[in-house]
Amino acid sequence: MDSLLAYQLLRILSLTLLLSSFSRISQSSEFCDAGTGFGDSGCVVSSKSASKLLIKGGTVVNAHHQEIADVYVEDGIIVAVKPNIKVGDDVTVLDATGKFVMPGGIDPHTHLAMEFMGTETIDDFFSGQAAALAGGTTMHIDFVIPVKGSLSKGFEAYKEKAKKSCMDYGFHMAITKWDENVSREMEIMVKEKGINSFKFFMAYKGALMINDELLLEGLKKCKSLGALAMVHAENGDAVFEGQKRMIELGITGPEGHALSRPPVLEGEATARAIRLASFVNTPLYVVHVMSIDAMEEIAKARKSGSIFWAPLGQRVIGEPVVSGLVLDDSGLWDPDFINAAKYVMSPPIRALGHDKALQAALSTGNLQLVGTDHCAFNSTQKAFGIDDFRKIPNGVNGIEERMHLVWDTMVESGQISVTDYVRITSTECARIFNMYPRKGAILAGSDADIIILNPNSSFQITARSHHSRSDTNVYEGRKGKGKVEVTIAGGKIVWENDELKAVPGSGKYIEMQPFSYLFNGIDKADAKYLSSLQAPVQRSKAAS
């Protein structure tokens, strides 16, 4: 079966699943036409279901539209989005007048319960997800790290870790080496385990890094499976050299981390990855874009629309993370080691100016969605590198803070609209990873993952009040406008009145199908290229 036919069959399957959601609605409720969006007429809902919720009078916001409407939820599914829905006394009613009702955030980039640099991230699948819910994120996609080189063992290990989940989650898979077993296991992950993305590390020499030859093999395999290739883009060889140089100069503190891996190395690796993906003609997702250098390579690719023969432009996805959008690297020079070490992540937080440039790129569409790279460690763990920055566990928090900081930084400043906010924090992630419209939308038939955001309410971030297990917070003391007052996950209120009601084990693993919209037209582009080639030149084999 060619990839285009497979893609079309998967689209039919997705439609079947959505119609199944509508079937569940019609079996459990009697209501006037819910439609798939907004309507003008009133609607009366009557049901005997035990799980019923009405959000009344808010401004419902999707990625392309907003309108004042009510939202009725039953058994974890959005049943109707209409003005003036009337319900019985057995329905919980939330008044959202003057507030925004939006899809819950989807964080595309997290690391919970991950073993890394001789320790394990401080947040597991309960504490990390609880923090997410308190901040308005209702789903995340975590990275599975293979166990002893085995993707299958890694997957099972992470499914075990995720048993305590209190919200929905999905998995990416990291590829840390390449051989035939890895190639075969990639097929299993896509066809049987619901994974549709694989991450390749161009950094961490001697550990996770793979070279260009193996990256090419991985890109080809991703294309054949309809899976999205993701890259951590830094030149690992040059970073290794930069680290040695800093140590030789006696720069052993956290500032050495940033100095050893400058923006040019991120830009170079980003450009190289884009060109290799173009050569293969497969979509590429660049994670944690932290610098102007990397952003400009992505913008250039998207603007050109074509590199080599491949119309790759719109298939290059750039993901900034909230730390890169709102912080600069000055904290790394703090004289207090722990205060400085808490900012160590890779690629590093950049100098002042990169943050504003990334914001501008996000507002113009050169970058597409916002993640966190939530990879939190406590002070004791960060102190592993007190004498050598190379031993500081890399990672910062953000899973709880993302939705608030993006609103305050991007919406309150007038850089993006409210609909754009929904797009970059939820909908685009759902589309890229083939979950839309089940996720990332306030539509009849979608999962009831919903937030109510009060634009007139304010927030303040502190380590004392956050829900992560980390004892530090890189956004300590930040204040802003726009607060998530209610979070609904799976149709249940899990955050309200600053009270968390998360239940371990209530989260579901969301399988993500291959061949997302990013693969549209790839087969045609390949065919066009092949047809453009001239016939082989016929040459005489006789000696001259």
CA distance 70 to 151: 44
CA distance 11 to 17: 10
CA distance 343 to 349: 7
Give residue 311's pLDDT band: very low, low, confident or very high (50, 70, 90): low
Instruction: Read off the tokens for 330.
Output: 């000055």
Domains and CATH numbers, the chain: 104-441+453-476 (3.20.20.140)
The dihedral through the CA atoms of 177, 180, 186, 188 has a sign that is negative
List pLDDT tens digits, range 443-459: 999 999 999 999 999 99
Residue 357 has pLDDT above 50, yes or no: yes
- Over residues 200-208, the mean pLDDT reads 95
List pLDDT tens digits, range 29-65: 333 344 433 333 344 443 334 489 999 999 999 999 9
Output phi, psi for 66, to 5 deg.
-140, 145
The dihedral through the CA atoms of 54, 57, 58, 59 has a sign that is positive
Give residue 535's pLDDT band: very low, low, confident or very high (50, 70, 90): confident
Query: What is the predicted pLDDT for the residue at 533?
Result: 86
Mean pLDDT of all residues in the chain?
91
Instruction: Read off the tokens for 417.
Output: 């609209």
Helix, strand, coil abundance in the chain, percent, nearest 5: 35, 25, 40
**Beta carbons within 8 Å of 282's beta carbon, 6+ residues apart:** 219, 220, 222, 223, 229, 315, 522
Residue 20 has pLDDT above 50, yes or no: no
Cis amide bond preceding 348, omega within 30: no
pTM of the model: 0.91
Query: What is the predicted pLDDT for the residue at 6?
Result: 44
Give residue 531's pLDDT band: very low, low, confident or very high (50, 70, 90): confident
Residue 3 has pLDDT above 50, yes or no: no
Query: What is the predicted pLDDT for the residue at 34?
Result: 40
